[in-house]
Amino acid sequence: MVEKATLDAEYSVIGCLLVDPSIVGELISLTRAEDFSIPELRTVYQAAVRLFTAGRPVDAVTIRGVCGAEYNNLLLQCMDITPTAFGWKTYIAAMQEQTRVRCLRALAEQLAEVRTSTQARELIGQAGEILSEKNRTRVVTMDQALLQFFTEQGEKRKFISYGLDKLDRRLYSDHGDFVVLAGRPSAGKTALALQMAAHMGQQERVGFYSLETSPAKLTNRLVANRCIIDFARINRREMTDEEWQRAATWKKEVTATDLELVHAPGWGVQDILTTALARRQRIVFIDYLQELRGRGRDRFEQVTNISLDLHTMAQEHGILVVALSQFSRAAASRADAAPTLTDLRESGQIEQDADAVLALYLDPDEDAPADDRKLRVLKNKEGRLGEFSLSFDGQHQLFAEYMDGQLAAARHVARVEKSHRGQQSEIKTVPEEAKNEPA
């Protein structure tokens, strides 16, 4: 049964449309046929849309000409209820609120009949979309745009920090952005993403969705990183007394981080969105994009839709989405060359949708220390491109930036060690014929 308030709001919206033709265009941009629960009013609305898009006047006479004389009394009733169009946006808001309630009730009835958790998750996801639904069209006049501009310029803007100063000075990320962190196998994408997520979790709630790695294994990495404990000994469960003490000392700081680890094998974008909204997460990391379940006939189409859905998720819900991605096999075969945007695996849509693309890869310089990485900004809508070196401490799953002069010193040490190893190899290598010569 439809409440009287809903009926009044629907009649009032049509009444405003009829008594003030000047609002028709904006009214249509803010509404849709599905907002009307009464079939006859929906028919009137659709007739108004057809007339407006055809460039014809929209009033009681023209609408009656489209719908027929049998709608005459309905049109008069709408105009009697709403003698003026004052407050027409309030009527739209009331109508759309009841539309949402009506849709949620229908979903609740379906939810009561589900037989699997997958069906339930899909329905709950649809409910989340309905609850967060915004008007389809937002029109901003130049007066409004400049007013917002001057207001914003008077306030200091704070961007989301990744915990790496050189990256933060290039990448101006905010809620609603879609960022891709791509890398070759064993480059350390997951370790770097966890370090970034833990840093962001000091300020906001962060969800780390792993489609491959269990929360227990991610926790091992986090403890090694945050408490500076040997990662190998953590995995073997052979921590020293000193490391136990260090873990206990840093426990409070680690638990204070608002970071949630979510095991998500087989999940799709909608599953992540539903959980993120329910958990009120403002930042989401996904490890990794190509493992997400997607719609489509082939893998290319599936990854394309996944990328589009992640971009929509970020923009419509104001969530910073950081998705890890793999490079193609062709890129992996060029270990001595820097990756490019075309190396992103399985779909060019990723580079189109992303606000920023970061590439993590082994430093190809022959004088670079073995654990050095390069982090290159391949795409950046709001800031600068470029790259810088990172030192990766695999023992503690920790990435660190080089200070001024440190990189040159590290490369000098690497050259010396390499030369020393070469000399040692020459000393130890004795020709076979020399071994057989008599003393």
User: pLDDT digits over 76-92, tens only?
Assistant: 888 888 878 888 888 88
How does pLDDT run across 336-353, given as a tens digit for each residue? 567 888 877 666 788 888
**Residue 262 β-bridge partners:** 209
**What is the layout of strands, in order, in the sheet containing 356-362?**
259-263, 206-210, 283-287, 320-326, 178-183, 356-362, 372-380, 386-393, 398-401
Q: Tell which wins on pLDDT, 213 or 1.
A: 213
The pLDDT, as a whole number, for residue 152 is 75
The whole model's pTM is what? 0.65
Residues 92-114 have pLDDT tens digits of: 888 888 888 888 888 888 888 88
- The CB density around residue 110, as the number of other CB atoms within 10 Å, is 13
Question: pLDDT band for position 282 (50/70/90)?
Answer: very high
Q: Given a cut of 60, is residue 370 above it in pLDDT?
A: yes
Average pLDDT over residues 1-5: 46
Q: What average pLDDT does this structure show over 311-329?
A: 87
For 145-181, the pLDDT digits (tens) are 777 777 777 778 889 999 998 898 888 899 999 999 9
Average pLDDT score over the chain: 81
To the nearest 10 degrees (0 to 180), the angle between helices 4-19 and 72-81 is 100
pLDDT at 131: 66
pLDDT of residue 177: 92
**Ramachandran region, residue 29 (left: φ > 0; alpha: ψ -120 to 50; beta: rest):** alpha
Buried b (16+ CB within 10 A) or exposed e, 74-107: bbeebbeebeebeebeebbebbbebbeebbeeeb
Of the pLDDT bands very low, low, confident and very high (cuts 50, 70, 90), residue 439 is very low
Pairing of strands 356-362, 178-183: parallel
* CB-CB contact of 162 with 173 (8 Å): yes
The DSSP 8-state label assigned to residue 268 in this structure reads B
Measure the CA–CA gap between 261 and 275, rounded to whole angstroms: 12
Residue range 403-419, pLDDT digits in tens: 654 555 455 444 545 55
Q: Is the pLDDT of residue 284 over 60?
A: yes
**How do residues 173-183 score in pLDDT, each as one tens digit?**
999 999 999 88
Distance CA 220, CA 261 (A): 12
